[in-house]
């Protein structure tokens, strides 16, 4: 807030995390780095300058999702401006929210902020949105940030320029600030492309400026003229020490601290035969990824069962979680045992679903639960003959249709026999016995 006498301090952990991101993206880590004062006046930074990096960023270059990066640097976050129509309700007796007024929220002012800048190689809003999503996945995988857009933990500032086809020069740049959803990024860029194009076709000039985004109206609006880098009068901050990264033990061997990266995980899972859409769920969601990996460990000697396990996770288990978000996932070893029982045909598909629901609600051993509920699949022809005879007796019209050559009637009888056995009967044996006894 610019209080006299207060001095800044470099956040060691923030520097380390930026360097980890740079390592993951294949960037060049700085040996020497320093912080600069970026001089400008705006209500969200009352001391008149922002601590940032200009000539010596922490990371240069790198690639994410095929998009070349310019730099990754660390700076201080500013305060948050809230304008008319976007103001909170204030307690009685406090002013604020009247027409034409703004409030400044200093809660995040001065905290470390990583800024990642791409080269101008994104050519459409969809690609920009996809890039931002990939960045969010990476930040979460590295545990650098939870990166919730709606909470301001990750923000996108999209720079856009439009030029005549074939032009070797980029058009005037407009920056759209503080977009807080991926859809907003795409919509704002779509709007700006149309606005720039119409302006140029009318023979007018694009003003280099900073614009905001009104999500409700679906339009951008001018905030202030956009400065050029020399307008900020960057110079090294005298209050912060210069850093020689290679001489700081905490910043050595950062590659060894990296987990499996999103693109590595995609490749590993698809190589195992996991469907791409299922693999993507494990890439995006750390909880499901950890659960699948734990199940994989329990099935390490039976790798062929991993595809079956993944199918039950992404369909049945995810379905149970969606129906009740409070449920806890079963023990990976118990889930793996359930998959083994299915593979050995000790459980039918229906029986496996029922046991899985019990595992989620009650926990416990899947075999014990299946035995308790009578869900273990019966292969004994003698035991199933009584079930088949009861179904034949109870459905004389359907039996007559089958005897008359209607093959579909057999499926009805098999279904009835499965219900009679509570899903425990082996379907193949039921078909054999029904054909024999009808």
3-state secondary structure the chain: CCCCCCCCCCCHHHHHHHHHHHHHCCCEECCEECCEEEECCCCCCCCCEEEECCCCCCEECCEECCEEEEEEEEEECCCEEEECCCCCCCCCCCCCCCCCCEEEECCCCCCEEEEEEECCCCCCHHHHHHHHHHHHHHHHHCCCCCCCCCCCCCCEEEEECCCCCCCCCCCCCEEEEEECCHHHHHHHHHHHHHHHHHHHHCCCCCCCEEEEEECCCCEEEEEEECCCHHHHCCEECCCCCCEEHHHCHHHCCHHHHCCCCHHHHHHHHHHCCCCHHHHHHHHHCHHHHHHHHHHHHHCCCCHHHHHHHHHHHHHHHHHHHHHCCCCCCCCHHHHHHHHHHHHCCCCCHHHHHHHHHHHHHHCCCHHHHHHHHCCCCECCHHHHHHHHHHHHHHCHHHHHHHHCCCCHHHHHHHHHHHHHCCCCECHHHHHHHHHHHC
Question: Could you tell me what percent of the chain has a pLDDT over 70?
Answer: 94
Q: What is the pLDDT of residue 298?
A: 95
The residue among 76 and 402 whose pLDDT is bigger is 76
Q: What is the pLDDT of residue 226?
A: 65
Is residue 135 pLDDT above 90, yes or no? yes
Q: Where are the domains of the chain?
A: 1-120+228-258, 121-160+174-225, 260-373, 381-437
Q: What is the pLDDT of residue 158?
A: 96
387-428 confidence digits (pLDDT tens): 888 888 888 888 888 888 888 888 888 888 888 776 777 777
350-373 confidence digits (pLDDT tens): 889 999 999 999 888 999 999 898
276-311 confidence digits (pLDDT tens): 999 999 999 999 999 999 999 999 999 899 999 999
Is residue 95 pLDDT above 60, yes or no? no
Q: What is the pTM of this model?
A: 0.82
Q: What is the pLDDT of residue 100?
A: 65
Q: What is the pLDDT of residue 84?
A: 61
Q: What is the pLDDT of residue 399?
A: 84
Is residue 87 pLDDT above 70, yes or no? no
Is residue 98 pLDDT above 80, yes or no? no
| Domain 381-437 class in CATH | mainly alpha
């Amino acid at each position: 807030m610019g209080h006299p006498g207060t001095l800044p301090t470099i956040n060691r952990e923030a520097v380390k995390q930026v360097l980890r991101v740079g390592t993951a993206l294949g960037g060049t880590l700085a040996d020497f780095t320093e912080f600069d004062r970026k001089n400008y006046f705006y209500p969200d930074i009352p001391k008149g300058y922002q601590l940032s990096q200009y000539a010596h960023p922490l990371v240069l270059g790198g690639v994410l999702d095929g998009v070349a990066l310019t730099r990754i640097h660390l700076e201080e976050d500013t305060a948050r401006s809230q304008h008319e129509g976007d103001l909170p309700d204030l307690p009685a007796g406090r002013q604020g929210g009247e027409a034409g007024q703004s409030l400044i929220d200093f809660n995040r002012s001065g905290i470390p902020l990583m800024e990642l800048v791409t080269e101008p190689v994104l050519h459409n809003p969809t690609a920009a949105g996809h890039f931002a999503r990939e960045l969010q996945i990476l930040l979460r995988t590295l545990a650098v940030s939870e990166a919730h857009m709606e909470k301001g933990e990750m923000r996108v500032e999209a720079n856009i320029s439009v030029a005549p086809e074939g032009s070797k020069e980029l058009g005037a740049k407009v920056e759209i600030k503080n977009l807080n959803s991926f859809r907003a990024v795409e919509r704002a860029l779509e709007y700006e492309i149309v606005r720039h194009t119409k302006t140029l076709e009318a023979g007018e000039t694009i003003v280099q400026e900073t614009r905001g985004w009104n999500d409700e109206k679906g339009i951008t609006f001018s905030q202030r003229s956009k400065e050029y880098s020399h307008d900020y009068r960057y110079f090294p901050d005298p209050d912060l020490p210069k850093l020689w990264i290679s001489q700081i033990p905490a910043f050595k061997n950062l590659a060894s601290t990296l987990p499996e990266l999103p693109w590595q995980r995609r490749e590993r899972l698809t190589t195992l035969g996991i469907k791409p859409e299922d693999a993507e769920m494990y890439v995006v969601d750390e909880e499901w990824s950890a659960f699948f990996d734990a199940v994989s460990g329990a099935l390490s000697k039976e790798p062929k069962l991993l595809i079956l396990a993944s199918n039950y996770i992404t369909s049945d288990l995810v379905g149970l979680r969606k129906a009740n978000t409070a449920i806890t996932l079963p023990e990976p070893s118990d889930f793996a045992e359930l998959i083994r029982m299915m593979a050995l045909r000790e459980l039918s598909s229906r029986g496996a679903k029922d046991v899985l629901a019990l595992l989620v609600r009650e926990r416990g051993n899947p075999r014990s639960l299946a035995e308790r509920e009578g869900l273990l699949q019966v292969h004994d022809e003698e035991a199933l003959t009584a079930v088949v005879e009861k179904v034949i007796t109870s459905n004389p019209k359907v039996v007559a249709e089958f005897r008359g050559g209607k093959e579909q009637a057999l499926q009805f009888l098999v279904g009835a026999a499965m219900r009679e056995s509570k899903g425990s009967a082996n379907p193949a044996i039921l078909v054999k016995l029904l054909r024999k006894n009808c």
